[in-house]
Structure 1
Amino acid sequence: MARIFTVDEARSLMPAVLRHADDFVAVRADLAELTHDLRHEGESPLGGLAEAKGLEARMDETLSWFDDQGIEIKGVAPLLVDFPALMEGVAVRLCWLEGETALGWYHRADLGFPGRRPLP
């Protein structure tokens, strides 16, 4: 069964979420640059195929951390994560988007991102 978070539980995880998100974003950028350079130039100052595989493994490891916490990954560019929760008996997702500094949004589980509202 999926973990259900309270707002306080989700917010208490935010320092770790932000650290893991920062790592993911940096690795994602390195992988994008490395892949582009290898495709178009045949070489990159960031390395070669072995380094690309290593970056992919780091990205997977970081995403696994979110999954291990019960946090859902909804997108990777930009990074979008949801914490399953209940509000007044309704299934919602507490929603954090790359670039935000705190957890401040939610949406009904059946509406997704377009139904995003500020947390009360």
Structure 2
Amino acid sequence: MFTLYTPQTANKALPEVKRMFAGIVAQKNHVMVLQQELQMIVDSGSDFERFMKKKQELNTAITNLYKAIETLEATGVMLKSVDEGLLDFPSKRFDEEVWLCWKAGEDEIKFWHGKDEGFMGRKPLETTGVIEP
């Protein structure tokens, strides 16, 4: 599904988007733990059976992480960085396609940037002219 967001619709969607993002972070952390456990199994010289079980568990966790990202992005929201907590909502500023951006820890959508700009190009919404419904 493709959606163009206004600041209002993005902020309305934000609680669910935050919930989905928190699930992605938790899943990523789980993957990291499993990777460390797998490395410890390798380093300890454990048998193949233990290695293969842990590897399959890791594969499932990675698949679940990607499924969670797909579910989030199916809402039209783009995950830019799990580690930095950056999400972008497609929008329009006059006739220009732009991103409304949110960073983990922020209470609402307050910034935007051009398609070719990143986080460092963020500008306050008050100066935009983002199209309202």
1:117 is displaced (CA, Å) by 2.1
Residues 1:51 and 2:50 aligned together: no
Identity %: 28
Q: Would the alpha carbon gap of residues 103 and 32 (structure 1) be closer, same or farther in structure 2, given more than 3 Å must change?
A: same
* 2: CA distance, partners of 1:88 / 1:49: 50
Aligned residue number for residue 30 of structure 1: 30
The alpha-carbon distance between structure 1 residues 55 and 101, as it changes in their structure 2 partners (threshold 3 A), is farther
* SS of equivalent residue, structure 2 residue 41: coil
Alignment size in residue pairs: 116
Please identify the structure whose Cα radius of gyration is greater: 2
* Residues 84 and 104, structure 2, Cα contact 8 Å, conserved in 1: yes
> 1: CA distance between counterparts of 2:76 and 2:63?
20
Match of 1:117 among 123, 127, 130: 123
TM-score (norm 2): 0.75
Deviation at 1:75, TM superposition (A): 2.1
Counterpart-to-counterpart distance in 1, 2:13 and 2:30: 26
Counterpart CA distance in 2 for 1:118 and 1:107 is 9
Stretches of structure 1 lacking an aligned partner (at least 5 in a row): none
For structure 2, the 5+ residue unaligned runs are 43-52, 127-133
Alignment counterpart, residue 82 of structure 1, candidates 88, 103, 125: 88
TM-score by length of 1: 0.82
One-letter amino acid of the counterpart of residue 122, structure 2: R
Larger RCO, structure (CA 8 Å, separation 6 or more):
2
Q: Hey, what does 1:103 align to over in structure 2?
A: 109
